[in-house]
């Protein structure tokens, strides 16, 4: 009765996740002085980033002011205009973590409007001083120039810790993000230096409320969340998202990012009085503890799947595991990086033995 005809099932598109929805022009007033603005993002699985504007007597603080480039900047300008304000009244940018869809707008806000930039004290490029984008040469590349764009692609194809070469973004992608049509230069992709930093559990006065700064690493090493214990608002950044699981990658500077993430999720469950989660992608939601549990369970299930895969395929590379764990449409650097993070977690637990074949890491279950 309920059988779906095979042709029909092929035709039915995958449901669009909230996080993939294109940026709406609508502004939501979450509470007095807290507004959700959506800025356009075109990245795998993401259609917008939420930039939250918090109003006080001095003007506005912006949480995660979006990507670099004209598209995002013009949208932000239009949203501020709808709020009856403009860039001159923005005094602070708060950045939840060191990913470009969250910090990209900071450079221009600081260069043109001298805003303060507030982050967790560990905020930095995940690649440290080795980051290609921190290279002074990268800042001088002209992305409208074919030769320079190839140079940047070469720089971006740095080897992975599991011994393969990264596939750099295509010329089209780099142009789209940073070419003359978006008005962003390669400097906009550098992780900005904060002017104000906070430590875990520090209290912050923003927009007439007292927020507790929470360092909840995992998605990145420097991830900051903000919690208002009076009204129960919780800025979750990408730490907890409503319908997708945040990417946990092995390319960063944490030895066992999955273990770090598990710890942060366990800690998140202590905030059971949160009444409204304000994520960086997707719609606000209220079941923080349930969502943290779901994300933990997702990774527990993935680890189990890796164990079963290992039993059937034997000694195998990260890419081999990835091909068993992900659907073909998802194969690529991000899927490999997440697979690597899971395999390393099992290695550190002593469940799997690492080997190396011609410079490429392989894993074998004991």
Q: Three-state DSSP class for 311? A: helix
Rg, C-alpha atoms of the chain: 21
Q: How far apart are CA 70 and CA 76, in angstroms?
A: 10
Piece of the chain touching Zn ion by CB under 5 A; list 32-40, 96-104, 183-191, 223-231: 96-104
- Minimum CB–partner distance for residue 222 and Zn ion (Å): 13
Residue number, nearest CB to Zn ion = 238
Closer CB to Zn ion, residue 150 or residue 173?
173
The yes or no reply on residue 222 touching Zn ion (CB under 5 A) is no
Q: How far apart are CA 199 and CA 267, in angstroms?
A: 16
Piece of the chain touching Zn ion by CB under 5 A; list 154-162, 178-186, 207-215, 238-246: 238-246
Piece of the chain touching Zn ion by CB under 5 A; list 156-164, 233-241, 248-256, 332-340: 233-241
Closer CB to Zn ion, residue 185 or residue 238?
238
Q: Which of residues 266-305 bind Zn ion (CB under 5 A)?
A: none
- Minimum CB–partner distance for residue 25 and Zn ion (Å): 20
Piece of the chain touching Zn ion by CB under 5 A; list 101-109, 149-157, 187-195, 311-319: 101-109
Closer CB to Zn ion, residue 45 or residue 354?
45
Closer CB to Zn ion, residue 101 or residue 344?
101
The closest alpha carbon to 34, from 276, 296, 330, 258, belongs to 276
Tokens 């009204």 found at: 231
* Sequence-ordered strand ranges (E) for the chain: 28-31, 34-43, 46-56, 59-63, 90-94, 116-120, 196-198, 203-206, 209-215, 224-228, 233-237, 276-279, 316-317, 352-357, 360-365
Q: What tokens appear for 78 in the block? A: 């239009």
- Minimum CB–partner distance for residue 238 and Zn ion (Å): 4
- Minimum CB–partner distance for residue 313 and Zn ion (Å): 33
Q: Which of 71, 185, 238, 344 binds Zn ion (CB under 5 A)?
A: 238
- Minimum CB–partner distance for residue 91 and Zn ion (Å): 24
Give how many residues touch Zn ion by CB under 5 A.
2
Tokens 């395929």 found at: 313
Tokens 């690529």 found at: 332
Residues sharing a CB contact under 8 Å with residue 80, sequence separation 6 or more, in sequence order: 37, 53, 60, 86, 87, 89, 90
The yes or no reply on residue 64 touching Zn ion (CB under 5 A) is no
The yes or no reply on residue 101 touching Zn ion (CB under 5 A) is yes
Q: What tokens appear for 42 in the block? A: 């075109």
Q: Rule CB under 5 A: which residues touch Zn ion?
A: 101, 238
């Amino acid at each position: 009765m309920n059988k779906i005809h095979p042709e029909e099932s092929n035709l039915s598109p995958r449901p669009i996740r909230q996080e993939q929805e294109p940026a709406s022009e609508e502004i939501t007033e979450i509470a007095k002085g807290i507004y959700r603005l959506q800025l356009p993002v075109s990245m795998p699985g993401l259609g917008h980033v939420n930039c939250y504007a918090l109003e006080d007597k001095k003007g506005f603080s912006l949480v995660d002011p979006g990507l670099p480039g004209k598209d995002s900047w013009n949208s932000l300008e239009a949203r501020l205009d709808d709020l009856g304000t403009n860039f001159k009244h923005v005094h602070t940018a708060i950045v939840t973590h060191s990913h470009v869809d969250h910090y990209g707008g900071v450079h221009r806000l600081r260069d043109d409007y001298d805003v303060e930039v507030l982050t967790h004290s560990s905020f930095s490029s995940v690649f440290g001083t080795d980051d290609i984008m921190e290279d002074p040469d990268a800042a001088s590349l002209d992305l409208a120039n074919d030769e320079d764009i190839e140079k940047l692609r070469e720089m971006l194809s740095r080897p992975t810790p599991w011994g393969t070469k990264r596939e750099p973004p295509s010329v089209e992608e780099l142009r789209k993000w940073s070419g003359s049509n978006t008005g962003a230069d390669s400097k906009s992709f550098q992780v900005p230096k904060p002017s104000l930093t906070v430590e875990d559990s520090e209290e912050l006065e923003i927009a007439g409320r007292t927020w507790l700064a929470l360092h909840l690493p995992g998605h990145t090493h420097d991830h900051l969340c903000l919690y208002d214990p009076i009204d129960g608002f919780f800025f979750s950044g990408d730490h907890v998202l409503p319908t997708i699981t945040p990417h946990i990658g092995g390319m960063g500077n944490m030895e066992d990012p999955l273990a770090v993430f598990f710890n942060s999720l366990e800690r998140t469950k202590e905030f059971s009085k949160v009444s409204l989660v304000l994520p960086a992608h997707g719609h606000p939601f209220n079941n923080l503890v349930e969502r943290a549990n779901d994300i933990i369970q997702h990774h527990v299930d993935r680890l189990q799947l890796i164990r079963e895969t290992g039993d059937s395929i034997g000694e195998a590379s990260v890419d081999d595991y990835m091909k068993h764990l992900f659907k073909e449409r998802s194969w690529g650097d991000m899927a490999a990086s997440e697979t690597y993070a899971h395999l390393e977690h099992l290695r550190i637990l002593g469940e799997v033995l690492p080997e190396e074949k011609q410079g490429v890491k392989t894993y074998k279950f004991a």
